[in-house]
Amino acid sequence: MNLTEAIAKLDELEKSTYALNHAQSILYVDGDTVAPKNSWKGRGMALAYLTELAYKQLVNPETGEMLETILQHKEETDEVTFRKAELLKENYDEYNILPMEEFVAYQELTNESGAVWHDAKEKSDWDLFAPYLDKIVAFRRRFASLKDPSKPAYDVLLDQFEKGASMESLDPFFRTLREDLSPVIKEVAAREKPVPAFMKRPWSVHDQRLFSRKVMALEGIDPLNCTLGETEHPFTDSTNKWDVRITTHYYENDPFSSMYSVIHEGGHALYELNIRDDLQFSNLANGVSMGVHESQSRFYENIIGRSRAFCTPLLKIMKEVFPDQMKDITEEELYSAINLSKPSLIRTEADELTYSLHVMIRYELEKAMIAGDLKVADVPGEWNRLYKEVLGVDVPDHKRGVLQDSHWSFGGIGYFPSYALGSAYGVQMLGQMEKDVDVWTTVEKGDLAPVTAWLADKIHQYGSLKKPQDLLPAAMGGSLDAKIYTNYLKKKFSELYKL
């Protein structure tokens, strides 16, 4: 196979892979949003077959030869094509680890397990979900050991979500977070502020739906390219920059839960929506890693969405949609309300200060599960113990405890650390952004376009074309430094709580 033939073959494979991924992606989104509950069986059959097709078209000697040919001709290949081949080779190697039947069976397992997790969460019943997690853990361990027997299995899994992440780098990262933040969390807890009366007013789902649209508009999301669905657990899915889906979950007693889901998922969406046109419909048309992805979502959610400046445009649209509830509320009161900090049960609703410790707990549990030191049956007990030890809270049931997140149900073991890494990346990006953009003036005016343009320029546009290690230093002004993150949090919450 010569280079021209190899590039033609890559092009063809790209088209068919796009089609199969597109179909699978929409089946998942549909399954999680509007599909009837009993539809999992037929969907599972369809997904299994699509997985089988994807496997077959990727794992064959011809693909191997094509990839070798391109990768051996770096000099004569343009950057985009070379990077496509490089990324595809990673997939190819992974798919070659296990026979097709095992991949298909795993695919069916996670499809079913997603449905079971929903049910188990609703019923707060760990025993329903445990047999599935048992199988998922076994598969992930086996996969990791086959992929790279020289490394601890959990490092192999971490690397899948954030290239280069390992326990060696994450252990000290989380240690710094815990050491630096625990004293602040205690001080803040000692000065506990009451939940303001206005937050206890009822917030109809009907009005919250209208509010979501305004929040998306404020964030600069074009509804022609991105729609909002409703799910138990909010997520973002993208097939291309003209077809992005985000979801949220409404609670009648709290408008901020859904609002921050919308802003967070909207941040993921903006990343996908701003990827260059010429990378679309290829394997480069996705955010490059989960850490970088979470840096964007958490940037909008917290750094922008929980800033003092954001309270100006936010209060304005809240008064439009919720005139009764927001009557007489000032920006300052709103700022205080959206930054109430208190150790709590639910990660996605945690305040900015305590958030990373929720992630740390999951990191510790995953490490132990994958190392084989913690049995699935013992996970709830250990979860509850860590929540008490680290955050000082008692977990009343599994629904609000170990069953709250969907990640394990789809096999996302090793994913959680990305949330904390992303949060830290984002804070360092802010430092750089402030050199180029008058961030708080434009946010206060309700114009987030300059913020998004900066992120699009540094991060979004490239999709997966540039590796995290090529993107991040420029955007962050250096390498990861947990201290910058903890100092940001210490400063913000010292001011808020007058410590």
Q: Mind telling me the catalytic residues?
A: 265
| DSSP, residue by residue, 105-172 | HHHHHHHHHHHHHHHHHHHT-HHHHHHHHHHHHHHHHHHHHHH-TTS-HHHHHHHHHSTT--HHHHHH
Does the footprint of its own copies cover residue 39 (CB under 8 A)?
yes
Smaller CB separation from its own copies, 179 or 277: 277
Is 29 a binding residue for its own copies by CB under 8 A? The answer is yes
145 binds its own copies (CB under 8 A): no
Minimum CB distance to its own copies, residue 216 (Å): 12
**Smallest distance, Å, CB 481 to its own copies?**
38
Residue type, 59: V
Q: Measured from the CB of residue 279, what is the shortest distance to its own copies in angstroms?
A: 13
DSSP 3-state assignment of 489? helix
Backbone angles phi, psi at 237, to 5 degrees: -135, 140
Query: Closer CB to its own copies, residue 13 or residue 430?
Result: 13
List of residues 6+ apart from 14 with CB closer than 8 A: 84, 281, 282, 283
Least distance to its own copies, CB of residue 97, Å: 24
Q: Two tokens at 209?
A: 């739906």
Q: Is 439 in the site for its own copies (CB under 8 A)?
A: no
Of 286, 334, 282, residue with least CA distance to 312: 334
43 sits near its own copies (criterion: CB under 8 A) = yes
227 bridge partner residues: 245
233's tokens = 């657990």
Size of the site for its own copies (CB under 8 A): 41
Name which of 197 and 224 has its Cβ closer to its own copies: 224
Q: Which is nearer to its own copies, 37 or 498 (CB)?
A: 37
Please give the residues from 3 up to 22 whose contact with its own copies meets the rule CB under 8 A.
Answer: 15-16, 18-20, 22
Q: Is residue 34 involved in binding its own copies (CB under 8 A)? A: yes
Q: Which is nearer to its own copies, 190 or 224 (CB)?
A: 224
Applying CB under 8 A, the span of 47-55, 260-268, 302-310, 336-344 interacting with its own copies comes to 47-55
Rounded to the nearest whole angstrom, what is the least distance from the CB of residue 36 to its own copies in the complex?
A: 5
Instruction: Answer yes or no whether residue 423 interacts with its own copies by CB under 8 A.
Output: no
Give the chain's length. Answer: 499
Binding to its own copies by CB under 8 A, coded x per residue (else -) over 246-285, reads -----------------------------------x----
CB of 31 to its own copies, least distance (A): 9
Cα separation of 443 and 38, whole Å?
45
Cβ proximity to its own copies: between 27 and 496 the closer is 27
Answer yes or no: are the C-beta atoms of 67 and 85 closer than 8 Å. yes
The DSSP 8-state label assigned to residue 387 in this structure reads: I
| Closest residue by Cα to residue 3 from 66, 64, 80 | 66
Distance from chain centroid for Cα 201: 30
DSSP states of 293-319: HHHHHHIIIIIITTSTTTHHHHHHHHH
Select the span of 49-57, 101-109, 390-398, 447-455 touching its own copies (CB under 8 A).
49-57
Which stretch in 44-52, 105-113, 138-146, 248-256 sits in contact with its own copies by CB under 8 A?
A: 44-52
Binding range to its own copies, per CB under 8 A, among 41-49, 139-147, 369-377, 387-395: 41-49
Q: Assess 60 for contact with its own copies (CB under 8 A).
A: no
Q: Which residues contact 435 (CB under 8 A, 6 or more apart)?
A: none
Name the minimum Å distance from CB 440 to its own copies: 31
8 A C-beta contact, residue 462 and residue 335: no
Alpha helices in 197-285 (DSSP H): 205-219, 255-273
- From residue 324, give the alpha-carbon distance in Å to each of 58, 88, 201: 57, 54, 9
Taking the complex as a whole, how short is the minimal distance between the CB of residue 438 and its own copies, in angstroms? 32
Give which of 308, 303, 296, 404 is closest to 349, Cα–Cα.
404
Give yes or no for a contact between 351 and 341, defined as CB atoms under 8 angstroms apart: yes
Q: Is 189 among the residues that bind its own copies (CB under 8 A)? A: no
Cβ-based nearer residue to its own copies, 29 or 87: 29
Q: Is 353 in the site for its own copies (CB under 8 A)?
A: no
CA distances from 479 to 288, 444, 475 (A): 17, 30, 10
Site for its own copies in 192-251 (CB under 8 A): 206, 223-227, 229, 239-240, 242-245
Strand (E) or helix (H) holding 466: none
What is the smallest separation between the CB atom of 47 and its own copies, expressed in angstroms?
8
Between residues 54 and 413, which has the closer beta carbon with respect to its own copies?
54
Among 25-33, 106-114, 319-327, 329-337, which window interacts with its own copies (CB under 8 A)? 25-33
- Pick between residue 49 and residue 251 the one whose CB is nearest to its own copies: 49
Contacting positions for its own copies (CB under 8 A): 15-16, 18-20, 22-23, 26-27, 29-30, 33-39, 41-43, 45-46, 48-50, 53, 206, 223-227, 229, 239-240, 242-245, 281
